[in-house]
A and B are shown apart, each in its own frame.
Chain A
Amino acid sequence: MTDSYSFKFEDSLASSALKNHQFSSLESYSARLSLFNLSILADYDQLVCLPELYNIDKHWYQIETAKKVIKQFGGRAMLSDEVGLGKTIEAGMICKEYLLRNQIKSLLVLTPATLVSQWQQELQEKFNITTVTTDSRQETPSEFWNSHNRIVASINTAKHSTHFNHVTGRSWDMVVVDEAHHLKNRRTLNWKLVDAIKKRFILMLSATPVQNHLVELFNLLTLLKPGLLKTEIQFKKEYVGSKDGRVPKNPEKLRQLMREVMVRNTRSVVDVKLPKRFASTITVEPTEAEKELYQAINEYLRSHSKEKTIDKLTRNNLLMRAGSSPVALLNSLEKLSERFNDSQILFLKKRASSIKQFEKTRMLVELLKKSNKKTLVFINSLPTQNYISECLQANGIKHSQFRGDMSLKAKDSAIEAFREEVPVMLATETGGEGRNLQFANAIVNYDLPWNPMKIEQRIGRLHRIGQTQDVFIFNFCIANSIEEYILKVLHDKINMFELVVGEIETILGNMGDEFDFEEMVIDLWLGNERKDELDNAFDSLGGQLLDAKHSYQKVQEFDENLFGEDLEA
């Protein structure tokens, strides 16, 4: 740390008053304190929003970033932290701060289509900012864009000709653009849309803002601060040092300019060192009866998928529950039989109810018996959780249960019991970030979510700042199930469990705007019946994801060289 540090105390009227026993009324003491606190808040030396945000971890560099953007950048900035450091949290903090200070009223978040609901949920849960989304739009475009003040929109929808004029026809106090590298090209509608929007503050978020050519940087920064990098011709002349546009000329001067609009916190600078994590797949060989049931439900779904008699939600639910346990499947089949009078469903119900012992659960019990780690077991379905709880009890394995439908108090006491008394907690959801679970260091994905982001969210509950031990992840799957194929792609092909939290999102983003992993795997699963067909289809998906991963790594390297560690908050 810098040696040029001095500290001194000054005498004050307050110290004289105390030493001389000169006491005033409580009211005047309180008023003096309140006025001083306001003076701290006036210069953004302290953020008003912090006491309001209790559902998130707040790290010093995120707070510093929010202060810097508001205080020094005037609310127009590119947030380019390395993946996983919390750009969304920083953006949310800045928006919340402006909202609490009454400096903004209208807020528009532009994001790739696949992230719309995630943004809406995070703004609501973490920042208590209620928004409407283009996904749930009921009104005409004109009504929608003019009657709401806080909107999370798919950028594809916003730039569409039926929406463009309405989005740009009104003014916005704050615009947040997620995955801002999609604005790298000035000739695209994305860029033209953001440029045309009348906005006071703008935050652009991207861990990898420049992908191929330095001109992309010019295009992005011009949206934030027009004129900062002069014209494109002048920019190229002054700052681009090679024909392919990848080598900067005058890098020092360029960084100096970037420092006026960009923040990029890196792991090494913010001192985020996480312990290692180890993942292993536990493939369970099902009993003959379990195998037959799984095959039967798949045949049923494949036949109905062609006829489209069963909706997507029911289809996914049945398949997930078939992978979870016969008891969970039975529960779903019972509900389904209330809707459809189908002899096949009755037959499946009969088969499911005849299976009393589950191989997957037996393996879990074996694992937990041998383990001495604090283990968090994620189970999607409640009937499976109840069944497992009974099995653990029967085997003398003490545990607590955390379920989404429990009261806050019950959730807290489940975690407290897990921390202090029992070695295992069964959970149906990840719980809020604010809940500290870093005392545990093993995760069992008993039911594997098909959405990689959800898997990552689970891992992130334990493998985060504050974790001191190595983290062990055990992924359970039944042999030849959809989950086994998903794990082959995510674990064997792209090593997802070794990626830094946040990277999978970027890799999936590289698969295209409309790419939905969950939908893709279920389509492949139901569309390919034979084993060799399935192997080929999933191999090809794995190959595409691997390409996306490599292209992300190349861009990451380029950006690391370009930005260095110069742009920290």
Chain B
Amino acid sequence: MKNQLLDAINQVISLKSGVAEYTNNDTLEALLPVDIARSLDISDSLSFSTRADTPDSYFVTYNSEIFGRFSNLLDYQGYAAALSIKYDGYLKTTGFEKKISDTLCAQNGLIRVGKSFAAPTPYILCNFSYTASADEKRLGMISFFINGLTGIPGVEIGDALSWKSDQVCLKDASTLGHINFEPLLNTAQSYASKLIDTEITPWRKSLSRKLGRDEERIKNYYNTIISEIKAKIKKKKLEGEAKEKELARSRATQMELKRKLTDLYERYDLSVTAQLHSSLVILLPTVHIECELIRKKARRSAMAIWNPYLKVIEPLRCEESNIPVTNFYLSDQEAKIISPEVWLSKVAD
């Protein structure tokens, strides 16, 4: 297994012009610029080790607070990065008619395949972090790709990122200047909320069970006291001040029950906050296939994408629900792409 802790330290040290070298799998020897060492509050020449018994070394664990200081060193760096992928193979640009007809199907219209040409497609790897809080706090992260051209979230890019030598850092942001990331981010957020929801579902269910159980117990407990008070009034035929005293006790018990239930709901109240932690834009060599979508008199163009890494035509995006579709309907007026679910619900309306 690679040493995650030391790898992370190594990355930051290299980034800050320091030098680090593994002496073995558990120890990393480092030479740091003086100002960096000072801000980390450590010596400028030292060894980091994940073994407590390594002599003369700075012992690090997953809980070491020094990682917080390393994070601070990054300042504003690393929130977004971009790269392009080299593709040495041949990208064919003909013969996509069959692939399109095998993959995409307009239920109530036609797809006419036009020109195909090699062109890069931007894919954004979105990393969303979240904090979920109820009776405990949990941190998490979900990651997925969104196609920057079609806006489809959750797409795969195959093994395109497997070879470091094929990755070229895009320092010049102008290559991506034409992309408006704002709407993509909105789609990504909505997709991220679904993924996070799925990830915490077992916990939500568990909280719900615990809440139900505790609620029932508390209600049973206090309602028993209230019934006992009522029974006492009836049995002893209490009147006047004595009765009023017991009724006051009953009211107080009811209020206590209400308070306890409020506490309980608060304890099991699950709130999640999420944010984009970082993103990586990847320009991937693909083939763009111009398609014309025809519905009665309405015609419009749409771009289908062939991914050479997966050797598939990617689905198109439902323009109402943003979900990926291969089987779809076209709207009468503008030949908009509509998923069967949305289409059927419209027909039902």
Residues of A whose CB lies within 8 Å of any CB of B are 1-2, 4-19, 21-43, 45-46, 48, 52, 60-61, 64, 71-72, 100-103, 252, 269, 565-566, 568-569
Contacts and interface: CB of A to CB of B under 8 A. Distances in A.
B307 interface: no
Nearest to B76: A13
A26 B168 CA distance: 9
Interface stretch (B4-12, B85-93, B110-118): B4-12
B185 interface: yes
Contacts of A18: 79-80, 124, 181, 185, 276, 279, 281
Nearest to A7: B272
Contact of A12 (B14, B173, B213, B276): B276
Contacts of B203: 64
Nearest to A15: B276
A32 B270 contact: no
Interface stretch (B59-67, B325-333, B337-345): B59-67
B78 A38 contact: no
Interface string B40-79: 0000000000111000000001110001001100101111
B273 A33 contact: no
A19 B272 contact: no
Contact of A31 (B8, B201, B280): B8
Given A9-B274, A22-B79, 7 more contacts: A7-B193, A8-B272, A14-B79, A24-B80, A35-B74, A36-B278, A48-B62
A27 B207 contact: no
Given A8-B273, A35-B74, A64-B202, A26 B5 contact: no
A426 B5 CA distance: 46
Contacts of B247: none
Interface of B: 1, 4-5, 7-8, 11-12, 14-15, 50-52, 61-63, 67, 70-71, 74, 76-83, 124, 127, 129, 136, 138-141, 167, 169-171, 173, 176-177, 181-182, 185, 189, 192-193, 196-197, 201-209, 211, 213, 217, 265, 268-281
Contact of B71 (A22, A35, A43, A101): A35
Nearest to B266: A4
B139 A27 contact: no
Contacts of B177: 21
Contact of A22 (B80, B189, B201, B204): B80
B23 to A, nearest CB: 17
Nearest to B164: A26
Contacts of B275: 9-12, 14-15
A33 to B, nearest CB: 6
A42 B63 contact: yes
B81 A37 contact: no
A102 B271 contact: no
B173 A22 contact: yes
21 contacts: A1-B204, A1-B208, A5-B270, A6-B270, A10-B273, A12-B275, A16-B79, A17-B80, A18-B279, A23-B80, A24-B76, A25-B77, A27-B11, A28-B77, A28-B81, A29-B79, A31-B78, A32-B78, A36-B278, A71-B136, A568-B206
Contacts of B207: 2
Chain A to chain B: the 4 pairs with minimum beta-carbon distance, closest first: A32-B78, A28-B78, A29-B81, A28-B77
A370 B273 CA distance: 58
A19 B205 contact: no
A26 B204 CA distance: 36
A14 B278 contact: yes
A24 B79 contact: yes
B189 A52 contact: no
Given A10-B273, A24-B77, A37-B4, A19 B185 contact: yes
Contact of B8 (A12, A21, A35, A40): A35
B57 to A, nearest CB: 13
A102 B202 CA distance: 29
B272 A15 contact: no
A252 B51 CA distance: 44
Contacts of A24: 76-81
A38 B279 contact: no
Contacts of B202: 60-61, 64
Contact of B7 (A9, A34, A52): A34
A13 B79 contact: yes
A2 B189 contact: no
A375 B70 CA distance: 56
Contact of A5 (B71, B141, B204, B278): B204
Contacts of B208: 1-2
Contacts of A46: 140
Nearest to B169: A26
Contacts of B74: 28, 31-32, 35
A14 B279 contact: yes
Contacts of A14: 79-80, 127, 275-279
Contacts of A34: 4, 7-8, 11
Nearest to A60: B202
B169 A32 contact: no
Nearest to A41: B62
A52 B1 contact: yes
Given A19-B185, A23-B82, A40 B139 contact: yes
A16 B74 CA distance: 16
B256 to A, nearest CB: 17
A48 B50 CA distance: 14
Nearest to B180: A19
Given A18-B279, A23-B82, A23-B170, A30 B11 contact: yes
A32 B206 CA distance: 32
B204 A48 contact: no
B216 to A, nearest CB: 12
B147 to A, nearest CB: 15
A27 B15 contact: yes
Given A7-B197, A9-B275, A14-B279, A39 B139 contact: yes
Contacts of B78: 24-25, 28-33
Nearest to A30: B11
Contacts of A30: 11, 78
Contacts of B7: 34
A24 B67 CA distance: 20
A27 B280 CA distance: 11
Choose among A27, A32, A40, A72 the residue with the greatest number of B CB atoms under 10 Å from its CB.
A32
B139 A43 contact: yes
A72 to B, nearest CB: 8
Choose among B52, B170, B278, B280 the residue with the greatest number of A CB atoms under 10 Å from its CB.
B278
Contact of A48 (B4, B129, B209, B211): B4
Contacts of A568: 206, 209
A7 B274 contact: yes
Nearest to B138: A45
B278 A33 contact: yes
A187 B200 CA distance: 45
Nearest to A13: B79
Contacts of A15: 185, 275-276
A6 B213 CA distance: 21
A30 B15 CA distance: 10
A73 B332 CA distance: 62
B110 to A, nearest CB: 34
Given A31-B78, A42-B62, A9 B11 contact: no
